[in-house]
Amino acid sequence: MKTVVTTVSVIVALLAGGLVYWFVFRKDLNDKIVIPYIAHQKPNIDPHVPHAVPLTDKLNEVVFDGL
């Protein structure tokens, strides 16, 4: 049982190392976000709710499109 756990642990570690190597050293991933971040803070304004003033609604879209 101990050898099975050790073997599985080694395989998982090798796969994780291979994935990290693949993500870090690939040439076709330049200037791309590969691992997305998770926002931990809820935005103050919901960008999907329309505003009463159309210009303000468009400004909100401009601000939130960059996130």
- Residue 24 shares a structural domain with residue 45: no
47 and 64 Cβ atoms separated by less than 8 Å? yes
Segments forming the whole domain that contains residue 53 = 39-67
What percent of the chain is modeled with pLDDT above 90?
Answer: 24
d(CA 27, CA 57): 40
d(CA 48, CA 62): 12
Residues 36-67: pLDDT tens digits? 656 665 555 565 666 555 665 555 555 555 54
* 46 CB neighbour count, 10 Å cutoff: 10
- Residue 2 shares a structural domain with residue 32: yes
- Residue 26 shares a structural domain with residue 49: no
d(CA 50, CA 60): 9
